[in-house]
Amino acid sequence: MTQIKQIQSHLTISGTLLDPYAAGKIISLCAESDDDHLSHAYKLFLQLSYRTKFIWNTMIRSFTAKNEAFKALTIYKTMLRSGYLPNNYTFSFIFKACCTDHLSLGFVFHSQAIKLGWESYDFVLNGLIHLYSMSGSMGPARTLFDSSAARDIITWTALINGYVKSGQVSAARELFDNMPEKNAVSWSAMIHGYVQVGLFKEALELFNQMQICGCRPNHGGIVGALTACAFLGALDIGRWIHAYVDRNGMELDRMMGTALIEMYAKCGCIETACSVFDKMLDRDVFAYTCLISGLANHGQGCRAIKLFGRMKNEGVAPNEVTFICVLSACSRMGLVDEGLRIFKNMREVHGIEPGVQHYGCLVDLLGRAGMLEEAKKVVRDMPMEPDSYVLGALLNACRVHGNVDLSEETVENLVERCIDHGGVHVLLSNIYASSKQWHCVVKVRKGMEEKNVRKIPGCSFIEVDGKVCEFVAGDRSHVLMEDTMLLLFGIDKHLKSTRKCMAFNH
């Protein structure tokens, strides 16, 4: 960079800096390096009285690459106003800029591209297919795809991503199977598609098949497969993938690190999750949040809160999800004061306005601790309508602390808002059962039958010896059921004797 600046000084002295070709070279060199230099390039850009299209394009491209799409589009508008016509390069850059946050503007620019005759130019067309795919407009995306004379991997993958994003996995899969050629990005897109809709086994199958086809997975594919492992409890496969990452010298970047932490935490290996976290060089809010959540889920609320403090010390700002995780850590540990303090700091220190989910955590925090009146007051005074989680937390607290009256009131509230899914009624019936009001139990069950509401059975996965087993609530068909039940009773007894005073339900 110092050398670039030296050259620039020479040009300034010799009066040739305003030569557009020399300036263009300088600008593109600056713009390609880091943020600071982009603002330097921009200053230089503003001084120029004559700008080539190359210079305009470079500025638009660079701001887009630095996640400043709005700035890029502003420059594009200035370009038009100054009487310059955009070319194929310009359009590929601005469609990319529109993909993040300015989809509808993209449609306006599409008509400009048509007028100027660039629509069917391959790079522009791929950009357009990507744009429509990202906005979920699969009709136009498909039409453009069909109109393409030179479909390549990019074209196919852009459309596949569109179907994935709009939840049409089978349409995505059909395209994927018909692709003339696949690479790591297309495999990764399809794996991610399965993960998004919860088809984790299919995601892992595809990951497997990818390797059989001789395609080396990239970071995206690895991240997708690890996420699938996390949800399936597929620890052995997850470990294998981790070993693959190490063996191939793949960088433990933020996303890879977070995916590994999530996998280990969800598979019960919280210590390994911590050591992955420690090995990461660059830990962002996602990595922190993921580990905080993992610790909370392992009953290590104090460590979770400590990590939250460390995050602050290292200058990583928490976001709204982080607060959900920390608050739920407090809730499970019964740390009411700590939780209330953190809730208060959310707005006052971190400038994050609590959302309905944070109120849900607050109700849960107070409710589990037996402060039902306070919890009820939060529901009454919160600035937005309570949702099923808020009322569900209150109802659960009623169950734990045996408050039948407040449960009835809460269920009525849920019914009024039409958020009374099957689980709500089952919960109420259980509450009646534990207070031995059998006639009420019958009434609730009958009401459910009449309204034809059913509770969707809960289910979970765990992998044993490399095989993924699925368990559905109420299912007693597993070969080791008797041993399992005995062990569960043992654990339950142990918990009840050691934690009698605490409400550790749910």
Partner DNA sequence: CTAGGGTTAG
Sites of contact with DNA (CB under 7 A): 28, 53-54, 57-58, 61, 87-89, 92-93, 96, 99, 122-124, 126-127, 130, 134, 152-154, 157-158, 161, 183-186, 188-189, 192, 195, 218-224, 227, 253-256, 258-259, 262, 284-287, 289-290, 293, 296-297, 319, 321-322, 324-325, 328, 357, 360, 364, 389
- In angstroms, what is the minimal distance from the CB of 486 to DNA? 29
Closest Cα to residue 378, out of 358, 396, 398? Answer: 358
Half-sphere exposure of 359 (CA within 13 A, CB side): 22
Query: Toward DNA, which CB reaches closer, 233 or 448?
Result: 233
Type and span of the H or E element at 460: strand 459-464
Query: Toward DNA, which CB reaches closer, 158 or 411?
Result: 158
Token match 């529901």: residue? 379
- In angstroms, what is the minimal distance from the CB of 357 to DNA? 4
Are 11 and 22 in contact by the 8 Å Cβ rule? The answer is yes
Query: Toward DNA, which CB reaches closer, 320 or 409?
Result: 320
Q: Count of CB atoms within 10 A of residue 473's CB?
A: 10
- In angstroms, what is the minimal distance from the CB of 184 to DNA? 6
Type and span of the H or E element at 336: helix 336-348
Token match 């310059």: residue? 84
Closest Cα to residue 129, out of 141, 147, 113, 140? Answer: 141
Type and span of the H or E element at 388: helix 388-400
- In angstroms, what is the minimal distance from the CB of 374 to DNA? 19
Query: Toward DNA, which CB reaches closer, 152 or 449?
Result: 152
Q: Count of CB atoms within 10 A of residue 213's CB?
A: 9
- Distance, CA of 146 to chain centre: 31
Are 17 and 23 in contact by the 8 Å Cβ rule? The answer is yes
Are 90 and 60 in contact by the 8 Å Cβ rule? The answer is yes
Query: Toward DNA, which CB reaches closer, 184 or 440?
Result: 184
HEC assignment per residue over 195-210: HHCCCHHHHHHHHHHH
- In angstroms, what is the minimal distance from the CB of 445 to DNA? 26
- In angstroms, what is the minimal distance from the CB of 130 to DNA? 4
Query: Toward DNA, which CB reaches closer, 273 or 444?
Result: 273
Query: Toward DNA, which CB reaches closer, 94 or 441?
Result: 94
Query: Toward DNA, which CB reaches closer, 364 or 420?
Result: 364
- In angstroms, what is the minimal distance from the CB of 387 to DNA? 7
- In angstroms, what is the minimal distance from the CB of 504 to DNA? 14
Query: Toward DNA, which CB reaches closer, 95 or 432?
Result: 95
> Tokens standing for 145?
């795809």
Q: Where are the beta strands (DSSP E) in 233-272?
A: none
Q: What is the sign, positive or negative, of the torsion defined by CA atoms of 397, 399, 403, 406?
A: positive
Spatial separation of the C-alpha atoms in residues 25 and 290, rounded to whole Å: 43
> Tokens standing for 280?
């990461």
Residue 285, SS3?
A: helix
Query: Toward DNA, which CB reaches closer, 307 or 441?
Result: 307
- In angstroms, what is the minimal distance from the CB of 218 to DNA? 3
Type and span of the H or E element at 468: strand 467-472
- In angstroms, what is the minimal distance from the CB of 115 to DNA? 18
Q: Cα torsion for 282, 58, 48, 80, to the nearest 10°? A: -120
